[in-house]
Amino acid sequence: MSETQKQANEMAAMLQNSTESAKEYLARALPILTENLKRLRSGDPQSGLATIGESTDGLTWILDYLGNAALALPASEAMLAADLTETAKNLTQAVHLMVDAMKSQDYALLGDVTEFELLESLSRTQVLIDRILNKTH
């Protein structure tokens, strides 16, 4: 096996492992974020804020994953890489809007961004993860 093939195999294995980790994270995070959205919408923003604030590390990791996965895909998967990059851009925008909403204590905006931007971007990430896993199995 050539050195190039070894590197390609190692890259594929790393992509597989990180994609499985991202899938596991989202399976845990989405229900929690959805519950927080309900708390925000029900007039209990403080309890929803606590967990949303705690989710920033995981969201940062997902953003890193999306960027790295886009780079790790072979050239033949350029469309999938572009979808990953676009989803990362949308997720980044959602996180920035959430931070602004939290700073201004605009809980209605925070709920809207969580519902229509964040959860949608994370759901899109799940679809892309499934596409990657289907290609790497």
- Domain assignment of residue 123, given as a range: 3-136
CATH for 106: 1.20.120
Q: CB–CB of 40/48 below 8 Å?
A: yes
Cα angle: 37, vertex 123, 67; to 5 degrees: 115
Which tokens sit at 116?
């229509």
Q: Is the pLDDT of residue 79 over 90?
A: yes
pLDDT above 70 (res 137): no
Whole-number pLDDT of residue 54: 74
Rounded Cα–Cα distance for residues 113 and 40 (Å): 11
| Residue range 104-114: mean pLDDT, rounded | 91
Interior/surface letters 34-51, b for 16+ CB within 10 angstroms, e for the rest? eebbebbbeeebeebbee
pLDDT of residue 126: 97
Which pLDDT band holds residue 92 (cuts at 50, 70, 90)?
Answer: very high
- The domain total for the chain is 1
Question: Over the chain, what is the mean pLDDT?
Answer: 90
Percentage of the chain beyond pLDDT 70 is 97
Quick: pLDDT tens for 42-76: 877 777 777 776 788 899 999 999 999 999 998 89
Query: Pick the residue with more confidence: 48 or 106?
Result: 106
What pLDDT is stored for residue 46 in this prediction? 78
The closest of 24, 15, 6 to 80, measured between CA atoms, is: 15
Look up residue 74 and give its DSSP letter.
-
